[in-house]
Structure 1
Amino acid sequence: MTAVKFCGLRSSADVDAAIHVGCDLIGLNFVTRSPRFIDVATATEVVSTYGSKMLFVGVFKDPSEAEVRTVIDVIALDFLQFSGDESSDFCDSFELPYLKVLHVGESFDFEQQRERFPNAFAYLLDSLSELGGGSGERFDWERFPSDTDAKVFLAGGLNPDNVANAITQTKPWGVDVASGIEEDNHVKSRKLMTRFMQGVRSVST
């Protein structure tokens, strides 16, 4: 089945709901300017409680090495995600596998971008956003790579109403959602999580 990553969860209740509905990965956002920011203390509690049941991704955008180390030295993350202009050497310098966000514009060339980050575990294609994701805006899905052996997540503007069509059209390795499973004020919704997973399962085997 298509892998599903819920991003920007900020509480044990959010994580419990995500596990209940059956997502595969959870993104914890350590970008301080993001409305989905989670502090280290809360993230530590969440991962220590649910780490045996879920894969956790630490999300960063243009961090310093010290900022990443501060997190991974105390939290047992499974993956890192870099959402900014980080270099390949920087992404490779940590002990964890990583997802690299690639922002899709008019001149986007996936294979060219992939060559810049040959050691990435997976690539996450998203629309352009000041905060690196979670904007709720989608890019032109015609630009999604149709013939690649890479693990590629589709992100940007996905929600329970369009995720089935998105998967059918792009056939991604995984899908990533943040705003599409939220009510007002960036509050995650168990109901929307459930509907999103139903959409994924309706077209995934």
Structure 2
Amino acid sequence: MARTRVKICGITRPEEARLAAAAGADAIGLVFHPQSPRAVSPEGAAAICAALPPFVTAVGLFVDPGREHVERTLAACPLDLLQFHGGEGPDFCAAFGRRYLKAVRVDSDTDVAAAAARYGADRLLLDAFVPGLAGGTGRTFNWSLIPADLAPRVVLAGGLDPDNVGEAVRAVGPYAVDVSSGVEERPGVKSAARVEAFMQGVRNADRG
């Protein structure tokens, strides 16, 4: 049986990292975008990573960063995977010798197949397009815009929560799902009950 992977993004405290891991998350996301209410410093992120058990991936999220910002963060924090959530080009994304995700914000005019062809990313993260916002908006998008042959490479984000993640998994069949605001009590503070419910929704969908 195929298993949908889960990333809990916007982790801001070590106890939230432990909570996500205990619930069965495959990865956590650490936000290095200063404008986000979920932003963490490289030093804070290092403490969060130290709280993770083995086999849980630490993903660092950047939005149009300077090269030095990424390099300083990597020097301070043991990230396993990078995620670029802005207008970064393929050469920039590949410049750090790390595997990476490239986020694409999807609206009715987005050519998802062309975006996938442009980037050599490990996976393409698809999020909802909201003008002026890089992510974490709590908005969904039209999942039918995702070509079926690309679904196994897709990390599906955008407005997912415990109530709709099962429907999303069944409709798209993505490699993974990514959630942030959908499992929060308030911006930057995760709810243990909502994380557990989200994980259960994914497991139920995987079972059919």
Question: Shorter chain as normaliser: what TM range?
Answer: over 0.9
Unaligned runs of 5+ in 2: none
Q: Distance in 1 between matches of 2:140 and 2:51?
A: 33
Unaligned runs of 5+ in 1: none
Residue 124 of structure 2 is matched in structure 1 by: 123
Identity of matched residues, %: 39
For the 8 Å contact 2:5–2:177, the answer to whether it is kept is yes
| Alpha-carbon RMSD | 1.3
For the 8 Å contact 1:27–1:57, the answer to whether it is kept is yes
> In the superposition, relative to structure 1, how do residues 50 and 114 fare at CA in structure 2: closer, same or farther (>3 Å)?
same
Q: Secondary structure of 2:149's partner? A: coil
Q: Distance in 1 between matches of 2:75 and 2:152?
A: 29
Q: Secondary structure of 1:133's partner? A: coil
For the 8 Å contact 1:99–1:124, the answer to whether it is kept is yes
> Is residue 169 of structure 2 the alignment partner of residue 160 of structure 1?
no
> Is residue 25 of structure 2 the alignment partner of residue 23 of structure 1?
yes
Give the deviation of 1:150 after TM superposition.
Answer: 5.2
Give the deviation of 1:53 after TM superposition.
Answer: 4.3
**Could you list the per-position Cα deviations for residues 108-139 of structure 1 after superposition, in whole angstroms to 9, with x for gaps in the alignment?**
1111111211x211110001143421100011
Q: Distance in 1 between matches of 2:84 and 2:5?
A: 19
> In the superposition, relative to structure 1, how do residues 96 and 106 fare at CA in structure 2: closer, same or farther (>3 Å)?
same
For the 8 Å contact 1:19–1:53, the answer to whether it is kept is no
Partner of residue 35 from structure 1, selected from 34, 37, 40: 37
Residue 82 of structure 1 is matched in structure 2 by: 84
**Which TM-score applies when normalising by structure 1?**
0.95
Partner of residue 106 from structure 1, selected from 93, 105, 108: 108
Paired residues in the alignment total: 204
The one-letter code matched in structure 2 to 1:125 is: L
Q: Secondary structure of 2:125's partner? A: strand
Give the deviation of 1:149 after TM superposition.
Answer: 6.9
Q: Secondary structure of 2:150's partner? A: coil
**Could you list the per-position Cα deviations for residues 72-122 of structure 1 after superposition, in whole angstroms to 9, with x for gaps in the alignment?**
1121111000000001000010111000001111111111111211x2111
The one-letter code matched in structure 2 to 1:171 is: G
Q: Within 5 Å, which residues of 2 pair with 1:171-190?
A: 171-190=173-192
Name whichever of 127-136 and 142-151 sits farther off: 142-151
Give the deviation of 1:145 after TM superposition.
Answer: 2.0
> In the superposition, relative to structure 1, how do residues 37 and 172 fare at CA in structure 2: closer, same or farther (>3 Å)?
same
Q: 4+ runs of 1 displaced by more than 3 Å? A: none
Residue 71 of structure 1 is matched in structure 2 by: 73
Q: Distance in 2 between matches of 1:149 and 1:53?
A: 24
Residue 134 of structure 2 is matched in structure 1 by: 132
Q: Distance in 2 between matches of 1:74 and 1:164?
A: 37
